[in-house]
Amino acid sequence: MSEKNKKEQQADDNLQNKPESVSLNENIADAEQPQTINYKPQTEEMEVHHHSHAHGKKNWKEYFWEFFMLFLAVFCGFLAEIQVEHYVEHQREKQFMITMLEDIKSDTALLADCVNYWNRINNDIDSVAGAIQIPASRTNLVKAYRHLSNALNYYGFGYNDRTIAQLKNSGSFRLIREKEVANKIILYDQLNQSAIVKIETQHNLLYMQTLALRNKVFVQEIINTIYSRYALIPPPVSENGWVGSMIKQQPTPLSQDEYNKLMFEFKNSLLALRKDFTNMKWGYDHLRDQMNGLLKLITEKYHLE
């Protein structure tokens, strides 16, 4: 190739490569310049669901049903509260009846002991009264002394009012649904509070009167000595010599007329005391009948044992 042709070829090559150089330079310039990023808030499209409400006026049926449901809820709550209250009251009633049975059973046992003890007292009263004779010189003083300690003993009955006091003080008689039971409990309480108290008060007055007369015709020191050895149990007949020796050593310092008069008064008072026990027996018999009736009634009505 000639020199001239070489130059022309080189010139053509330069012309073809020139645009690529410019493009490269532009790319370098673009790379060197910082890029500005514009953050534009994007608004997402949200679907809004519109509920269709009937904005029309409510009719009377809708108002009625709303009121009825509210009323039914309040009424059911009220019934539930009443039911709970009745359940609690019935449990309290049953518990009162359980303790009432316990009280009556303890009263029954105490009354039986009381009656048995009074029978022993009355037997000794009969022995002392039988030993006393008028004139007093004919009195069997040894026998009289042997029975004196227990003849003028005293045994009082007091009922257990634990449950009855609770029923009265707390106004809980209203809890007893069985009116027959409530009435019999009230009658039992009245008998103990009124009739029995009056009978025992009268008997106690006669007892104190008889005791005062006894102290005038019998020597208390001899009575105390016998009591210290045998308590309320009469000494056996084998002890007659021992009792008689004490009587001789400690005679009553009274004239014969005065001694006769006081011994007569003492015997009469002792017999009056013995007779008055019939009133106490009447009261105790009525108490026993009421106890047995209450025990049976409460057991049946409340299914208790």
Exposure pattern of 55-79 as b/e (b: 16+ CB <10 Å)? eeeeeeeeeeeeeeeeeeeeeeeee
Q: What pLDDT is recorded for position 28?
A: 39
- Within a domain: residue 52? no
- Within a domain: residue 20? no
- Within a domain: residue 177? yes
How does residue 41 score in pLDDT terms, banded at 50, 70 and 90? Answer: very low
Q: Structure tokens of 217?
A: 């015709």
Q: How many domains does the chain have?
A: 1
pLDDT per position as a tens digit, 229-278 = 999 899 999 999 999 999 999 998 999 999 999 999 999 999 999 999 99
Looking at every residue in the chain, the average pLDDT score rounds to 83
pLDDT per position as a tens digit, 204-234 = 999 999 999 999 999 999 999 999 999 989 9
How much is the CA Rg of the chain, to the nearest whole Å?
57
Non-local (6+) Cβ contacts of 117 within 8 A are 155
pLDDT per position as a tens digit, 141-152 = 999 999 998 999
- Within a domain: residue 18? no
pLDDT per position as a tens digit, 69-117 = 787 777 777 666 666 666 567 888 999 999 999 999 999 999 999 999 9
- Within a domain: residue 44? no
- Within a domain: residue 2? no
Does the pTM surpass 0.95? The reply is: no
Q: Structure tokens of 248?
A: 């001789």
- Within a domain: residue 72? no
